[in-house]
Amino acid sequence: MNILIAILIFGLIVVIHELGHFIFAKINGIYVSEFSVGFGPRLLSKQIGETRYSLKLIPFGGSCAMLGEEEESTDERAFNNKSAGARFWVIFGGPLFNFILAFVMAIIMIVSVGIDKPYVLAVQEDSLAAENGLKEGDIVTAVNGDKIRLGRDYYITDYFEDFGETVELTVLREGKEMNITIDTLYQYYGLGFSYSPDGEAVELLSVEANGPLGEAGLTIGDVITKLDGIEIKNGEDLAKYKEEVGFSDKEITVTYVRNNREHEVVVTPKEINSYSLSQYVTINTYREKVGFLEAMKYSLYEMEYQVSVVYKSLGYLFAGKASMNDFSGPVRMVSVIGDTVEESKEYGTESVIFSIMNIIILLSVNLGVMNLLPFPALDGGHLVFIILEAIRKKKIPQEKEAMVHFAGIIILFAFMIFILFNDIKNVFF
């Protein structure tokens, strides 16, 4: 059942993407030979006018086949013979429709369950934030000048941005804006690694080179199984260990597994300086209902949030702060969708529906943004050639453009294979 739901979600998102190309092709008078849902052999097919509409065997995605898209054609209705502006909108139509789908879903969800407004839930008493007058109920509107629209904005900013010991919050109180300086520095003893708290095992997702585990030779993919002889099966066990035993400046024996072999090292935890917006201040993430007009406004904020997460995640990866293990492909996404649906079931059918809608928003925005990246073979790569043509006022030879896109396809195909094997490793092993 969960696999079927995942197939339907992926299918909807990609078909909507292709529908965007199709509609703009028709608007611009381009000959569309076939619009298909799915891939592979045809199950159902009907010719309506000049276009064949097909339902195909493999229920992933779809396609919009246009004359002159891949080959030269002298037909005036061929894609390659249309103006740069017309071709721009045909290519841009796919990602645009993904954004429209996400926006419509966001409106429905926000009207139904509301939005997480970023107001302060709690302030630690002995913190600089409390001394400077931050109060429960204050609405955070900016962090160091960066806009905060949603409660999730605050925590995403906390995750991706690097802060000093203090940060300036702009808050709204009784209709007036004010700036309040809060502290972000906190110190603790740690081993210098990260892991998934919800994982079935404590697998190292990152290891600080100069941290205790890094200096002891541990690396990404190693799995911690014991600390001082106490069994650690998963993230919950590790959290319990930290709460009941904790780390200090005393030596600790770490048992870990690598390539199915158990190893032991003795390390001394180090005092770590960490900076977090949420260490002393708690911001709301619970949803509350709003009126329709406000729901429209917050739907735009939801889109802004989702797009910013994608770009910040890419920046995080290119900065070397995340590993390739953090990438998720179709296999892992099927697992995530299944887990999300199962967790939502205990709260009723409505919760399952809105969880699925949230996934559609996330994936649709991701597909739209990723497709607009200026990489060969992606929509963004095609748009780059169209923009260059408009600037030069001269077409780039189609065979040369085709060679560049072919190279892009090879790279993307290799990347997809890597992601597939990475997914299989993370989900099944």
In 134-224, which residue ranges form alpha helices assigned H by DSSP?
Answer: 151-160, 212-215
- Is 13 in contact with 364 (CB distance < 8 Å)? yes
List of E strands, 206-284 = 206-207, 223-227, 230-231, 252-258, 261-267, 270-275, 281-283
CA distances from 287 to 3, 32, 119, 170, 261 (A): 29, 44, 11, 22, 46
Query: Strand, helix or coil at 150?
Result: coil
Bridge partners of residue 223, in order along the sequence:
203, 257
Residue 330, pLDDT score: 66
CB distance 384 to 374 below 8 Å: yes
**Torsion over CA: 14, 359, 108, 308 (sign):** negative
User: What is the set of domains in the chain, with CATH numbers?
Assistant: 2-113+356-428 (no CATH), 116-184+276-286 (2.30.42.10), 193-265 (2.30.42.10)
What is the chain's pLDDT, residue by residue, as a tens digit (429 residues)? 667 888 888 888 989 999 999 999 999 999 999 999 888 899 999 999 999 999 988 776 788 999 988 778 889 999 999 999 999 999 999 999 999 999 999 999 999 999 999 999 999 998 999 999 999 999 999 999 999 999 999 999 988 888 888 999 999 999 899 999 999 988 889 998 888 777 778 989 888 888 899 999 998 889 999 999 999 999 889 989 988 998 999 999 999 999 889 999 999 999 888 888 888 999 999 999 998 899 999 999 999 999 998 888 888 777 766 655 566 666 667 777 777 777 788 778 888 888 899 999 999 999 999 999 999 989 999 999 999 999 998 888 888 888 898 898 899 888 878 777 766 666 565
Measured CA to CA, the distance from residue 385 to residue 396 in angstroms comes to 7
Phi, psi of 148 (to 5 degrees): -120, 120
Regarding beta strands 202-203 and 223-227, do their DSSP bridges make them parallel or antiparallel, or are they unpaired? antiparallel
What are the pLDDT digits (tens) for 369-389? 999 999 998 999 999 999 999
Token pair in block for residue 13:
């998102």
Distance (Å, rounded) from C-alpha 306 to C-alpha 357? 14
Question: Any idea what DSSP says for residue 396?
Answer: P
Is the pTM for the entire model greater than 0.85?
A: no
109 CB-contact burial (10 Å; exposed 0-12 / middle 13-18 / buried 19+): buried
Segment 390-398 long-range contacts (CB within 8 Å, at least 24 positions apart): 390/84, 390/85, 390/88, 398/71, 398/72, 398/80
Q: Is the separation of the CB atoms in 328 and 336 below 8 Å?
A: yes
Residues paired with 243 in a beta bridge:
none
For the chain, the residue count is 429
Instruction: Say what the pLDDT of residue 197 is.
Output: 77
Q: What angle do CA 176, 285, 153 make, to 5 degrees?
A: 70
- In 3D space, the residue among 24, 19, 15, 14 whose CA is nearest the CA of residue 89 turns out to be 24
Distance CA 335, CA 296 (A): 32
Contacts of 147 (CB under 8 A, 6+ apart): 141, 153
Specify whether the CB–CB gap between 93 and 82 falls below 8 A: no
Q: What is the pLDDT of residues 341-357, one digit of tens each?
A: 777 887 788 888 888 99
Could you give the CA distance from residue 72 to residue 91 in angstroms, rounded to a whole number? 18
Taking the C-alpha atoms of residue 260 and residue 311, their distance in angstroms, rounded to an integer, is 37
